[in-house]
Every structure is written in structure tokens, then in C-alpha cells.
């Protein structure tokens, strides 16, 4: 029950700040063919001041590797409650992670930024692999990552 409440609190914080309206947003992360094991990815949001606002998704199930997602780990202190109920498998090289979430309208055009940290076993970690402002004008625009992400888009 406690983990359910933590998940609900996190979801509510990102989807209904100020009892705002929410909309479905599809996040699509296409990985490059980097030739290594599956990537761990942390998709999270920071507020206009750069402070951690919440985690949207964690790809990769073994918590012992979460500290390799260094910016996300530093922001959350590695707290598993931040990702309880919003995790999936790691994403293989050349594969696509596509998730649809309800995000609050208040997150768009208000200075919030979506970040992706990436880590691959036996390869270099890539904190802040992608950082994209959440704007309505930016929806559908592909952004290239720094190392492992070939492209990232969000569509509303």
C-alpha cells in the first residue's frame, strides 16, 4: 500500500500540479546501434530553476546500476520510491522505447525540462544525454542525444 501511495503521489505531482488539466504525451527514444548491452535510461523532469521535479520512466530493472545514471541519481539520492511502478526493461542498441503518459498542461511552456540519463554496462555513462525544454512548439521535433540516443521526440 505504501508503494502505491508513493507512486500516486509522484504521478499526481507531474500530471496535476495546481489541479491542472493533463494530456497524453508519447515519449519516443530511439537508441543508436552502439554495439553494447542494453541501456539503462532515466527520463525525468526539472523545474524552471533546475530542481528535480519527478521521474517519468526508468528503463532497467537492477537497482545496483542506478548510480550510473549520475544526474538522476544525484537529484533523487537514488531513492527507489521515485521510480516505484514506473520501470521497464533496459533498451537494446538500435531499439526504441516508446511510452505514453499523461502530463500536466502546466509543465509545457513554463520552463520545465525533460532529461534523459543513459548508462550502458562496460561503456561510458552519459548523464544528461538529452535535455529538451517542454514546449508545445517543440512537440514532434527530433532531438539527437550525445552518445547513445539517436533521436528523442515527444508528441502530444
pLDDT over 50 at 55, yes or no: yes
Residue entry with cell 553494447: 36
* pLDDT above 70 coverage of the chain, percent: 87
**How many CA within 13 A on the CB side of residue 33?**
0
pLDDT recorded at residue 14: 61
Residue (of 140, 147, 141, 145) closest to 130 by Cα position: 145
CA 54 to chain centroid, in Å, comes to 9
Residue (of 30, 85, 37) closest to 57 by Cα position: 85
Per the CB < 8 A criterion, the answer to whether 102 and 15 are in contact is yes
pLDDT recorded at residue 80: 85
pLDDT recorded at residue 84: 82
Mean pLDDT of 8-28: 67
Residue 106 dihedral angles phi and psi, to the nearest 5°: -65, -15
- With H, G, I as helix, E, B as strand and everything else as coil, classify residue 3: helix
Q: What number of other Cβ atoms are within 10 A of residue 18's Cβ?
A: 7
Residue (of 8, 10, 13) closest to 79 by Cα position: 10
Q: pTM of this prediction?
A: 0.86
Q: List the domains of the chain with CATH numbers.
A: 2-155 (2.60.40)
pLDDT recorded at residue 20: 60
Residue (of 106, 112, 116) closest to 153 by Cα position: 116
pLDDT recorded at residue 61: 85
pLDDT in tens, 98-136: 999 999 999 999 999 999 999 999 999 999 999 999 999
Per the CB < 8 A criterion, the answer to whether 87 and 115 are in contact is no
Please tell me which residue, 11 or 34, carries the higher pLDDT value.
Answer: 34
Amino acid at each position: 500500500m505504501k508503494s502505491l501511495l508513493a507512486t500516486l503521489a509522484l504521478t499526481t505531482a507531474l500530471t496535476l500540479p495546481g489541479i491542472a488539466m493533463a494530456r497524453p504525451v508519447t515519449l519516443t527514444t530511439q537508441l543508436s546501434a552502439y554495439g553494447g548491452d542494453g541501456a539503462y535510461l532515466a527520463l525525468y523532469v526539472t523545474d524552471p530553476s533546475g530542481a528535480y521535479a519527478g521521474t517519468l520512466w526508468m528503463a532497467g530493472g537492477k537497482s545496483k546500476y542506478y548510480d550510473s545514471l549520475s544526474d538522476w541519481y544525484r537529484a533523487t539520492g537514488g531513492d527507489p520510491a521515485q521510480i516505484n511502478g514506473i520501470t521497464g526493461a533496459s533498451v537494446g542498441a538500435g531499439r526504441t522505447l516508446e511510452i505514453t503518459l499523461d502530463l500536466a498542461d502546466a509543465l509545457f511552456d513554463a520552463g520545465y525540462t525533460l532529461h534523459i540519463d543513459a548508462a550502458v554496462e562496460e561503456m561510458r555513462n552519459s548523464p544528461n544525454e538529452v535535455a529538451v525544454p517542454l514546449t508545445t512548439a517543440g512537440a514532434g521535433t527530433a532531438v539527437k542525444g550525445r552518445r547513445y540516443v539517436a533521436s528523442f521526440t515527444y508528441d502530444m
